[in-house]
A and B are shown apart, each in its own frame.
Chain A
């Protein structure tokens, strides 16, 4: 049982009191920001990055990932009770969740959602445990050309799968790549785009950029949006779903979990798309699809299982290939780099404690979340009454003071403000911030591998195509590039757009 030994050791890591504590802190914060309007998980993780400097890498990542999957649980509560999706991944839950709440069955909806989330999360962790070492083993032979192709594909997928305009997302990604080149060139030592500014000589730090674009940008954007209306949430009674509800939704939970798991692995996939796809699939499968939108339990169970499964499985590309699949993973990638850990195929072998510690912490986290979502749900419903206007200055100050504490540098606070403004303007002009941050994180890796490959190939770019794996990856890259054009041609033949796509308009909250 060679395979199981490191997995079991991982539990030892999780059960250290410090790690348990941070796991609890992470999932509570995740649940809170899921419930509270305004900040999404990516923004919260970005704002809390300074907190992770003082702790062990494994502890830090346990907390940050707890925030991420915790938010998937919390986002459900506002969807069901207030018809306001707390997270983009809970948008579809609104349709049936709120309908159930109106029928006085809010408790059932929340209970089923919590059980579905728990099941989805658990399925995905088991999948992660089994699949991750295999993917990592496969990727061990990857050389610079493969990494170049993989990073390019990853950035392109995140840019094209996101909600916004694809052209704009690619522009944002190229800006991220350009920002990554600021500072000393790693090959020649020459300064690039530093404008003779000493603070820029070592390049831009990831933290102020992430805190600015995701954190402050989001806060500024909300400042304008805020309607300040607080609705009284519906009463929640009897959160334990009946045997009948469980039976009705068990199929949906199973299908949603599997679908979510696979969609989460794909770069650019992730929780939002998984929840939409799972809802659409259940509606298509149902004997009487007209029940959906009027309080079908499956309409809550499927997307909630799927989004949690996807949130968990999106760790696979990050931890095994070193390629973040979405914006939140890009920030966790950055957090790992800060800690001196480079995620990649070697991680499972070289740092099994970190790898299995983080993976196994998700079991504990999901159990904690199940407890918080069923018996303690009333506490979180009360938190809904806190006004966003009160939270805004507090989060702003945490951001400003937090970034200062990393390097004791006033320059970093300026950077956060500049990038916060940029993040706000990007949102106003319809640019997704995710591709920029992802491209920034992958920028130096991409350039380094590209230049290494060119050195290996003696300048002959054909070498990328003749190597089998990089060739296939580049082929996929080209297909994804041309897909919009193909779809356009296809759409002329068939003009009926799927209904769910039209509903998927809610601005992605990061």
Chain B
């Protein structure tokens, strides 16, 4: 105890000004606040329905492959068992687990993720045709400027630097057979 007290007196002003002292409980509460808002029970219902649908599809397809018998199992038996487990757990989630608020609500910033995925899709579509340099440059720029909110100058300079570095590492140094222009 006296140790902590002695330390407190000697604490430098810099750290003290930046962040106020918090007990573990307050800290936990603060972290909780920083987390995105919970999605309602509907998210769990949606997840359960999606999982159950996957399970039912798996069930139908494994029956199609043939189940066989325990002493002579056919290819469908194992997927059949897993699909059953999956359906059972989804139903249990629907019935008992609906109220548990562990899903996160989508927010306006979820569009950033959608945009991010779109740039990835664009990257793959272009890379086979035009090499990796141009899509790399564009992807880095979009992620820095629009998703990362860096300044225009920073984004331009960094995206050229990153592209050059990737070219040097993958093409020049490692001679990886990635499609490239130069």
Contacts and interface: CB of A to CB of B under 8 A. Distances in A.
Contacts of A390: 144, 148, 150, 158
Contact of B143 (A187, A231, A393, A421): A393
Given A168-B97, A225-B36, A94 B75 contact: no
B148 A387 contact: yes
B14 A235 contact: yes
A170 B85 contact: yes
Contact of A232 (B4, B18, B162): B18
Contact of B113 (A100, A220, A400, A458): A220
Interface in A430-471: 430-431, 447, 450-451, 454-455, 458-461
Nearest to A164: B102
B11 A413 contact: no
A387 B154 CA distance: 12
A503 interface: yes
A496 interface: no
SS class of chain B's interface: helix, strand, loop or mixed? helix
A288 interface: yes
A100 B70 contact: no
Nearest to B154: A390
A167 B103 contact: no
B78 A459 contact: no
A193 B178 contact: no
A404 B113 CA distance: 22
Given A235-B15, A404-B178, A165 B144 contact: no
Nearest to A244: B3
Most buried by A among B21, B43, B121: B21
A223 B24 contact: no
Interface stretch (A118-126, A172-180, A197-205): A172-180
B11 A104 contact: yes
A300 to B, nearest CB: 13
Contacts of B113: 220-221, 223-224, 424
B86 A405 contact: no
A168 B97 CA distance: 9
Interface string B54-71: 110010011001000111
Interface in B76-135: 76, 78-79, 82-83, 85-86, 89-90, 92-93, 96-97, 100, 102-104, 106-107, 109-110, 112-113, 116-117, 120-121, 123-124, 127-128, 132
Interface residues of B, number: 92
A291 B7 CA distance: 12
Contacts of B3: 248, 291, 295, 297
Nearest to B176: A405
Given A175-B86, A400-B120, A459-B72, A394 B162 contact: yes
B27 interface: yes
Interface string A100-142: 1111111000000000000000000000000000000000000
A509 interface: no
B126 to A, nearest CB: 11
Contacts of B21: 99, 102
Interface in B20-50: 21, 23-25, 27-28, 31-32, 34-36, 39, 43-44, 46-47
Interface of B: 1, 3-4, 7-8, 10-12, 14-16, 18-19, 21, 23-25, 27-28, 31-32, 34-36, 39, 43-44, 46-47, 51, 54-55, 58, 61-62, 65, 69-76, 78-79, 82-83, 85-86, 89-90, 92-93, 96-97, 100, 102-104, 106-107, 109-110, 112-113, 116-117, 120-121, 123-124, 127-128, 132, 136, 139-140, 143-144, 147-150, 158-159, 162, 166, 170, 176-178
19 contacts: A95-B24, A102-B11, A105-B7, A167-B93, A171-B51, A178-B82, A178-B83, A181-B78, A193-B58, A220-B117, A223-B116, A228-B149, A393-B162, A396-B139, A404-B127, A410-B127, A451-B73, A451-B78, A460-B71
Interface of A: 83, 94-95, 98-106, 164-165, 167-168, 170-171, 174-175, 177-178, 181, 185, 187-188, 190, 192-193, 216, 220-221, 223-228, 231-232, 234-235, 248, 288, 290-291, 293-297, 387, 389-390, 392-394, 396-397, 400-401, 404-405, 408, 410, 413-414, 417, 420-421, 424, 427-431, 447, 450-451, 454-455, 458-461, 502-503, 505-507
